[in-house]
A and B are shown apart, each in its own frame.
Chain A
Amino acid sequence: MSQVISKEDLIKWLESLLKDRTVVAPVAADGVTMFRPIARPEDVVYKPGNATLGPKECLFPLSHTIFTVERNDNGVSIVPDTMDREIVVFGLRPCDAQGFAIFDLPMLGDPADPYYKDRREKTTLIGIACNIAPPGCFCSSTGGGPHDATNLDVMLTEVSEGYIVQAVTEKGKELLQGVPLKESAAVPPPPPDMPLVPTDDIVAAMRRSFKDQYWSRLADRCTHCNICSYVCPTCYCFDIRDYQQDGKVHRVRSWESCQAPGFTKLAGGHDPRPEKGAKMRQRFAHKLLYFPEEFKGVLGCTGCGRCVRLCPVNIDIREIASDVQKIGGG
């Protein structure tokens, strides 16, 4: 038997969550969907597949004042930014949640990033399983799947009566307290099929192909525009600067990309990675080589397909994963 919530009760649940929490969910704006704090349950957009931009911003803001420095009688004090409200991320997909699990490896390691940790601990993830896989998606090849609840706190799967509710973690169970669920014989539909991408021996293949001309030829058409990094649920590079304002110093951390012009530029102007091929390879090597080597084989890619769909010149990580297998011959 499954536990099911009706669509009406789901709206009521969201209303009650909004009373004392910030609820972030996919909303629509000019043809794109992105995660934003919602004011009412009606703001949420339900559409097949994941949102144009994922929920990465909720835990790792695009631009974040991580602390301010203030002068006072005792000298100076550093005031870190902390969340004063619990966050619920609603309507994310299994690939988005896997993105946070991948973020956790470097961000909650030793030492942990305190700003990410603060937000992570105060966040609960209510995901919706994908019953349809739009073109470009390949999560079943990257250690997850369209119905994979592993990295969520609560998983919802749409059925005719509403949503099958699965409390995955203790945090999820707490959030569900008092929510009316009905016992039902409803069964989830089978997870959608999607084309497989060869990722089994990807680390070895990436190592083998590392110095191949393939990368510079592929990078011919790359303009190093950063879109892939900024829409990626696992890209976590950032830049930090201090701003002076209102007599205080604000330390600001913003998203940065390995594809950006200044990323590897050193004082004095030297750039150790100026070639287009090496620059572009860096991003894919981080996902498919360095990250799994560092973190017990975990790929730095969740198969969300955003970079595939949004790259203006069709640099396609699925094609790269398949191409590098053919290079070097082992």
Chain B
Amino acid sequence: MQMQEMQEKIRAKARELLQSGSVDCVIGYERATDGKTARPAFIYTADDIDRLIYDRTCVHNLAKYLLDRKDKTTAIVAKPCDSRSVNLLINEKQIVREKVYVIGTVCQGMPDVTWNQIGEENQERCQRCAQRTPVMYDYLIGEPADAVIPTFKDVEEMEGKDIADKRAFWQEQFSRCIRCHACRQFCPGCYCSECFVDQLDPTWVGIRKTTADNEMWNTIRAFHLAGRCIACNECERSCPVNIPLSLLNRKLEKDVGDMFEFQAGLDSEAAAPFATFKKDEHLKGVE
């Protein structure tokens, strides 16, 4: 299905949902001020529906916005990765399934997009992504496509490096971190009412922004996403200093997959391994 056709279907569904009063707001995409890329759009009335667009620049994961509208009914445009974060938020009891209407879009991958710049090829993470069809939806746009086998080539490459080289690599990366915490603000899995980095008593990290403190921040945040990260890459997309955060997240995704045979967000009923405790549970390969 052409993207233009998908856009028309999104608009028609949004009109139907708003006019019938089924939802108060449709969260989709509209044209940004560069005239060529997309930005999130909140549509409250049928008059504004023509603002909605859908094209290869609609890279943002909109699921995080559902947390601002917990008690309201909302329709949301969701690609496969985004749909996994809706599942995550339902499973973790942050949102209620009945209040969310998911307009799922089949996805063949998206390019890297920043303001006024559109990449030619698909993002690396899209080239490695297993899902082409949203894992949950109320209305699907596009023909369901086969899942592909995810690869972890980049992670394996890093795993093969010497520990001193790994450390040097990450120290170099984290030395650039300005600790704006945009990675957290854009992560659909980061919703703690008080983040450990902001806590004063005890002060886990504090306000000092040395490379060591930055390492602490980025590593702990990654661990908090173990078995929960759905690989939407919003952390890396938003990072103003290009830290390859997905490499950390994907390492954890790979390990959780190997050890617990679990992938986050595929099923709203299945909790992350570290969010459950079963007496008879044991790691794969460990008696």
Contact B181 A312 (CB under 8 A): no
> Which of A280-330 touch B at CB < 8 Å?
308-314, 316, 318-319
Interface centre among A34, A220, A243, A312 (most CB of B within 10 A): A312
Which residues of chain A have C-beta atoms less than 8 A from B203's C-beta?
A: 241
The answer, yes or no, to whether A121 is at the interface (CB within 8 Å) is no
A-facing mask of B49-74, CB < 8 A → 1, else 0? 00000000000100011001000000
- The prevalent SS among residues of B at the interface is loop
Assess whether A63 is in contact with B60, with CB atoms less than 8 Å apart.
no
- Distance (Å) between the CB of A318 and the closest chain B CB? 7
Report the number of A-B residue pairs with Cβ-Cβ less than 8 Å: 119
B33 at the binding interface (Cβ < 8 Å): yes
Residues in A whose Cβ lies below 8 Å from that of B238:
225, 227, 312
B16 at the interface (CB under 8 A from A): no
Of B1-9, B89-97, B205-213, B266-274, which stretch is located at the interface?
Answer: B205-213
Does A123 sit at the interface, judged by CB under 8 A? no
| Residues of chain B with a CB closer than 8 A to A52's CB | 240-241
Contact B240 A310 (CB under 8 A): yes
Chain A residue at minimal CB-CB distance from B193? A261
Q: Are B208 and A243 in contact (CB under 8 A)?
A: yes
Chain A residues within an 8 Å CB radius of B115:
136, 308-311, 314
Q: Given known contacts A252-B207, A261-B198, is B242 in contact with A30 (CB within 8 Å)?
A: yes
Residue A276 contacts which of B33, B68, B178 (CB distance < 8 angstroms)? B68
Return B158 CB to nearest CB of chain A, in Å.
Answer: 15
How close is B38's CB to chain A, nearest CB, in angstroms? 8
Q: Report the Cα distance A25→B39, complex, angstroms.
A: 33
Q: Is B182 an interface residue (CB 8 A)?
A: yes
Contact residues on B (Cβ < 8 Å of other chain), bracket? 35 or more
Task: Check: B186 CB closer than 8 A to any chain A CB.
Answer: yes
Inter-chain contact B42/A225, CB cutoff 8 Å? no
List of B residues within 8 angstroms of A241 by Cβ = 203, 206-208
User: Does A254 count as interface, using CB distance less than 8 angstroms?
Assistant: yes
Q: How far is the CA of A254 from the CA of B194 in the complex (A)?
A: 19
Q: How far is the CB of B57 from chain A (nearest CB, A)?
A: 11
A254 touches B209 (CB 8 A): yes
Query: Distance (Å) between the CB of A58 and the closest chain B CB?
Result: 14
Whether A16 sits at the interface, judged by CB under 8 Å, is no
Can you name 16 extra interface pairs (CB under 8 A) apart from A136-B116, A308-B115? A30-B242, A31-B242, A34-B176, A53-B241, A220-B68, A221-B39, A221-B41, A241-B206, A252-B208, A256-B207, A309-B114, A309-B116, A312-B60, A313-B60, A314-B115, A316-B33
List 10 A-B pairs, minimum CB-CB distance, nearest first: A225-B182, A225-B185, A63-B209, A314-B39, A226-B180, A312-B238, A314-B32, A254-B207, A220-B42, A223-B185
Seen from chain B, the residues whose Cβ lies within 8 Å of a Cβ on chain A are 32-34, 37, 39-42, 60, 64-65, 68, 114-116, 172-173, 176, 178-182, 185-186, 194-195, 198, 203, 206-210, 234, 237-238, 240-243
Please, could you name 30 A-B residue pairs with CB atoms under 8 Å apart, sorted by A? A29-B176, A30-B176, A30-B242, A30-B243, A32-B176, A32-B241, A34-B176, A53-B178, A63-B209, A63-B210, A220-B40, A223-B182, A223-B185, A223-B186, A230-B178, A230-B180, A230-B240, A239-B207, A254-B207, A254-B208, A257-B180, A261-B194, A310-B114, A310-B115, A312-B182, A313-B39, A314-B32, A314-B34, A314-B115, A316-B32
